[in-house]
Amino acid sequence: MEYNEKGVSIVPSEFKKEIFEEARKDFRYEEYVRGCLNCGVCTGGCPPHRFFDFSPRIVLQNMKSKDPELIWTMMDEYIWACFQCFTCAMICPFLNSPGGIIAILREIAVRRGFESARKVLKPYSRVLLKLTAYGNQLSPDMIQPDFFPDWGPTIGYASTDLAVKRKAIPMPTLQVTNLAWDVAPETMKELYEIFDESGVFKIIESVDPSLYEIIQDIVDDVRSS
């Protein structure tokens, strides 16, 4: 959100209009945006509404206003406050989906490499790496105190002696700590194809160029093996 010294947005209104049009052209838009009488059921049931200045009713109303300025104001922080639990969509009497609108707007932010998207995705870079390069999600060596504060005081113990603890699991595992499960090179190559075709690699490149480089090195290695 760039503003000049007078507090006026310096983002050209044409650009804001373009963002709005991109959202409106999304194939899900018609399904997610219907009538709204401001009954507030969505916001009344919204979990993040308890903690943040975030209201699914406002998301839908902004979208229905067709005012590019209002939609632009949500692109920075607002859209990232949503938990994507879709309670709003479950209870809206009109069958609107404010959570779905958030998904559309987030995808635009990620595709276009907005600063807000970069900031939010930064903590997920390790997950993105494991997922896209190895076809894994969470591996034992990712369990480190800094990244899992919500695990409480036992995280310190849980993150030590991983190799031994892994071996102690009373069932066959890979017994390694850098992978959660073994993925065959053929499967990984197929995954890379999917990520190429669907534009996932492109998105990562725009959001986190250095992460993209690390991933591409691994991809090249696997592909040439």
Partner 1 sequence: MAENILVVGGGPAGLNAAVMLAELGVNVSLVERDSFLGGNPKKFKYKFLFPDMQPADNVIGELIKKAETGGNIKVYYSSEISDFKENGKKFDVTIKTADKNELKTFDSVIVSTGFEHFDPARDAKYSYQLFDDVIDIKDLERMMGEDNFVRPSNGQPPKNVAFILCVGSRDRHVGNQYCSRVCCTVSVKQAIELREHFPACEVYIFYMDIRTYGFFEDLYWKAMEEHDVQIVKGRIAEITSGPNNTVVCKGEDTLLRGPFEIPFDMVVLASGMEGGPQSSEISKKLGIGLDEHGFLKPENVTLSPFKSNRDGVFLAGACTGPKAISDSITEGAAAAMNAYTYAVKNK
Chain positions contacting partner 1, by CB under 8 A? 37-45, 49-50, 55, 57, 91, 93-95
**Alpha-helix runs per DSSP H in the chain:** 13-24, 29-32, 41-44, 56-65, 68-74, 87-91, 98-111, 115-121, 125-129, 155-158, 162-167, 185-198, 200-207, 209-224
* Residue 155 CB partners (closer than 8 Å, separation 6+): 143, 144, 145, 148, 149
- Which lies closer to partner 1 via its Cβ, residue 43 or residue 132? 43
- Which lies closer to partner 1 via its Cβ, residue 46 or residue 219? 46
- Which lies closer to partner 1 via its Cβ, residue 49 or residue 130? 49
d(CA 49, CA 55) in angstroms, rounded, equals: 6
- Which lies closer to partner 1 via its Cβ, residue 1 or residue 90? 90
Q: Report in angstroms how near the CB of residue 99 gets to partner 1 at its nearest.
A: 14
Q: Report in angstroms how near the CB of residue 34 gets to partner 1 at its nearest.
A: 9
The neighbouring-strand residues paired with 76 are none
Q: Report in angstroms how near the CB of residue 39 gets to partner 1 at its nearest.
A: 4
- Which lies closer to partner 1 via its Cβ, residue 57 or residue 106? 57
d(CA 219, CA 156) in angstroms, rounded, equals: 33
d(CA 141, CA 178) in angstroms, rounded, equals: 6
Q: Report in angstroms how near the CB of residue 118 gets to partner 1 at its nearest.
A: 31
Q: Report in angstroms how near the CB of residue 77 gets to partner 1 at its nearest.
A: 18
